[in-house]
Amino acid sequence: MLRGTHVVIRAQSKDDLDLLHRWLSDLELYDSAWPPYWEFPLSRDRLAHILEEEAKQKDRRNYIIEAPEGHPIGCIFLLHLNWPSAHAELGIIIGDREALGKGYGSDAIRTLLKFAFETLHLHRIYLRCGAGNERAIRTYEACGFRREGIFREACWRDGRWEDELVFSILADEYREAQPA
Amino acid sequence: MSLFSGGLVRLRAIEREDIPRFLRWFNDPEFVLLLHQYEPLSREAEEEWFERNIARAPPGEEYLFAIETLEGGVHIGNLGLHSVNWIDRRAVVGIGLGERDYWGKGYGTDALNILVRFAFDRLNLHKLFLYVNEQNPRAIRSYEKAGFRREGLYRDQTYLYGHYENVFMMALLQSDWREGQRAGAAASPPA
């Protein structure tokens, strides 16, 4: 369990299936996730199978974010963990709409960065997001991520092409940004 | 000289065809005692080892190689990195020369140097360490030549040839190795 300023990050388990299924059945939320998925609506058993497969992946960590009151509000992941090069991709979904706009997402990201750099000893964390997702971009920049690239027209979504942005933060940059 | 070759040997992948040779080595009582593998090994056990540790090995935990002479391509032993810990960025070094004719002639040290370079340059590990019997001076000398230093002594750690023996822990940090490389390059005459 990782303790942030407000939120707590814990391991995801099979018991979270219904919760995740509820979140991922919200189309607007589903569409804000990046990279876009096209399996919608998702049957509960299909999701159970996906989670089972994900749990077997050694280069992936799925965590649940809990609000200060203790109830789960979203998930946060590390993907494509590469140990020799010490980097991983970060992903986050806030599933509980009530929890939006309270700074819980950035708190969860900061908490996971601390874990990734100080405990897992990683060198670089990167993430991708849709160029149109301004709320997400503001959050990532507030957490210390730098925009480092653009993949032009990388995704087709609902009738048009969308650019994909890549953000990253290095261990040194993270350390420098910490209050002494 | 490429990443996987030195002055006397090169490192290659371990193949299924090597199993009969392992069987011969691992049933040489002197060889196996030095490796802390006490009991005679069956063909089935060796095949199972190959399946588990080579064919279906989980990635990133072990890096195992066959040692082959540059001259004649003779497979003389194996070596590798075990129990890689990516958070601490360290690994255990293991080496065994099964072909006795090649003992004490610098082949093991040459192979070790390649492995050390692989571990630090390629994998960017921070530290390598190993355990060696106090009564195995040939191995200790070889590890020292590769830059390893004694860090610890484990008293009566192993039961060998009918009595208890001490075991040394020896280790090498990437920073020390780099310093040694720079010093070595400065000391050697220009080519």
Choose the weakest-confidence range: A83-97, B10-24, B32-46, B116-130.
B32-46
The model's pLDDT over B20-56, given as tens digits with 9 standing for 90+, comes to: 998 888 887 777 666 666 666 788 888 998 998 888 8
Q: Which residue of A has its CA nearest to B86?
A: A83
Closest CA to A115 of A13, A12, A4, A16: A4
pLDDT band at B172 (very low <50, low <70, confident <90, very high): very high
| Measured distance CA(B190)–CA(A103) in Å, rounded | 61
ipTM for the whole predicted complex goes beyond 0.85: no
Q: Is A84 touching B (CB cutoff 8 A)? A: yes
- Which CATH number is A124's domain given? 3.40.630.30
- Separation in Å, CA of A119 to nearest CA in chain B: 7
Please give the model's pTM, rounded to 2 decimal places. Answer: 0.81
| Measured distance CA(B88)–CA(A6) in Å, rounded | 29
| Amino acid (1-letter code) at residue A29 | L
Average model confidence (pLDDT) across chain B: 90
The model's pLDDT over A52-69, given as tens digits with 9 standing for 90+, comes to: 999 999 999 999 999 999
Instruction: Determine the pLDDT at residue B101.
Output: 93
| Measured distance CA(A161)–CA(B174) in Å, rounded | 47
How many structural domains comprise chain A? Answer: 1
A109-118, A149-158, B59-68, B177-186: which has the highest mean pLDDT?
A109-118
Residue A49 has pLDDT above 60, yes or no: yes
| Measured distance CA(A29)–CA(B96) in Å, rounded | 57
Neighbours of A28 (CB within 10 A): 7
Q: Does domain B9-187 have CATH number 3.40.630.30?
A: yes
Instruction: Determine the pLDDT at residue B191.
Output: 45
Q: Which residues of B touch A (CB under 8 A)?
A: 58-60, 84, 86-89, 122-124
Residue % of chain A over a pLDDT of 70: 99
Q: Which of A58, A84, A121 lies closest to B87 in CB terms? A: A121
Instruction: Determine the pLDDT at residue B89.
Output: 96
Q: Which residue of B has its CA nearest to A86?
A: B86
Cβ atoms of B88 and B123 within 8 Å: the answer is no
DSSP B70: T
| Measured distance CA(A165)–CA(A131) in Å, rounded | 6
Instruction: Determine the pLDDT at residue B39.
Output: 66
Q: Do the chains contact at A83 and B124, CB–CB below 8 Å?
A: no
Instruction: Determine the pLDDT at residue A147.
Output: 97
Encoded tokens for B17: 């065809």
- b/e per residue, B132-165, with b = 16+ CB within 10 A? bbeebeebbebbeebbbeeeeeeeebbebeeeeb
Residue A103 has pLDDT above 80, yes or no: yes
Neighbours of B64 (CB within 10 A): 16
The model's pLDDT over A107-129, given as tens digits with 9 standing for 90+, comes to: 999 999 999 999 999 999 999 99
Instruction: Determine the pLDDT at residue B144.
Output: 96
CB contacts of B89 in chain A (<8 Å) are 121
The whole domain housing A104 covers 2-176
Residue % of chain A over a pLDDT of 90: 81
